């Protein structure tokens, strides 16, 4: 079973006023363990596609199955639950809860799921270890650099063991050293633990690191290449 299965996805914004065809018939299948970049120039529909895959938005037409479930049929609150269990999000910015510490942020979704404390503590410790932020576990996000914040976001996203991590331009606000560092961590998690990553970017240095590169052009899939 594929983790993500999209068939003929279309998305029209403002269908009644000034229609924008953001997606025009996208077919995409992503298997477990992939490390896939969705690339394309600004306005090509990357965010729209990831939002639909992540259950944050609904397609105008087409089918989207995540972990075997057709998510377009879920209600808003069911979608929130689905995202909480199945998908780890890393956004471009505003990923973390500013009033919580690094450890509390990492723990947050597990808390929503009412996981036992021992399990949470263990998981937080191992995740912060793997993103290299164990010493920062008691500081607030505002005391971290942008790159460190994105690493916490990755840890937070991974905590509840989602089916995959969805990251919309995770390096857009980072300098190249931080971007490369974040990619290192993502790569390592993918290689060592088989975590599935789907991320969008238009940064060529990031594109080079992806194993599979799906190019979007005007809301359609242009090329779909496996690298290395």
Partner 1 sequence: MITKIAWRNVWRSKTRSAVVILAVAIGVWALSFVLSFSNGITYTYISNAIRDQLSHLQLHHPQFPEDKNSKFFLENTTEKLAQIQQMPEVEAVTARVIATGMVSSARTARGVQIVGVNPETEMKVTHFEKNIVEGEYFQADRKNQVLISQRVADKLKVKLRSRIVLTFQNLDGEITAAAFRVAGLFNTGNMLTDDVQVFVQAEDLKRNLLSLSAQPDSTAADLLQSQDISQEIAIFLKDAKTVSEVKSKLKSAFPETLVEDYWELSPDIELYETQINTSNTIVIVIFMLALIFGIINTMLMAVLERYKELGMLMAIGMNKGRIFSMIVLETMFLGSVAAPLGLGLGFLTVFLLQDVGIDLSAFARGLERFGISTTIFPVLDAGLYLRIAIAVFITTLLASLYPAKKAVKLQPVEALHKI
Ligand X SMILES: Nc1ncnc2c1ncn2[C@@H]1O[C@H](COP(=O)(O)OP(=O)(O)O)[C@@H](O)[C@H]1O
Residues that bind ligand X (CB under 6 A): 13-14, 20, 22, 40, 42-48
| Residue 100 binding partner 1, by CB under 8 A | yes
Residue among 23, 39, 44, 47 that touches Mg ion (CB under 5 A): 47
- How many chain residues bind partner 1 (CB under 8 A)? 26
Contacting residues for 166 by C-beta, under 8 A, at least 6 apart: 50, 53, 54, 87, 88, 89, 90, 198, 199
Q: Which of residues 107-166 bind partner 1 (CB under 8 A)?
A: 108-109, 111-112, 156-157
Least separation in angstroms between residue 199's CB and ligand X is 12
Q: Which residues does residue 198 pair with via DSSP β-bridges, in sequence order?
A: 36, 166
Contacting residues for 164 by C-beta, under 8 A, at least 6 apart: 3, 4, 30, 32, 86, 87, 88, 195, 196, 197, 198
Give the nearer residue to Mg ion in terms of CB position, either 50 or 133. 50
Residue among 43, 99, 126, 161 that touches partner 1 (CB under 8 A): 99
Contacting residues for 149 by C-beta, under 8 A, at least 6 apart: 95, 96, 141
Cβ neighbours around 51 below 10 Å, total: 17
Give the nearer residue to ligand X in terms of CB position, either 54 or 160. 54
Q: Which of residues 160-219 bind partner 1 (CB under 8 A)?
A: none
Residues that bind Mg ion (CB under 5 A): 47
């Amino acid at each position: 079973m594929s983790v993500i299965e999209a068939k003929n996805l279309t998305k029209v914004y403002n269908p009644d006023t000034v229609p924008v065809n953001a997606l025009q018939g996208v077919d995409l299948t992503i298997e477990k363990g992939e490390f896939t970049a969705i690339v394309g120039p600004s306005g090509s529909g990357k965010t729209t596609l990831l939002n639909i895959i992540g259950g944050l938005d609904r397609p105008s037409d087409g089918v989207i199955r995540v972990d075997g479930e057709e998510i377009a049929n879920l209600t808003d609150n069911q979608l929130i639950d689905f995202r909480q269990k199945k998908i780890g999000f890393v956004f471009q910015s505003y990923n973390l809860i500013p009033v919580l510490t690094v450890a509390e942020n990492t723990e947050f979704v597990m808390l929503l799921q009412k996981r036992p404390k021992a399990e949470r503590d263990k998981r937080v410790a191992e995740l912060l270890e793997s993103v290299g932020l164990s010493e920062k576990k008691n500081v607030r996000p505002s005391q971290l650099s942008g790159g460190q914040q994105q690493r916490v976001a990755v840890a937070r996203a991974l905590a509840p063991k989602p089916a995959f991590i969805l990251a919309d331009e995770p390096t857009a606000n980072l300098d190249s050293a931080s971007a490369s560092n974040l990619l290192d961590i993502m790569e390592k998690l993918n290689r060592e633990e088989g975590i599935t990553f789907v991320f969008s970017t238009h940064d060529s240095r990031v594109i080079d690191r992806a194993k599979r590169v799906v190019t979007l052009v005007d809301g359609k899939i242009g090329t779909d290449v496996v690298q290395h």
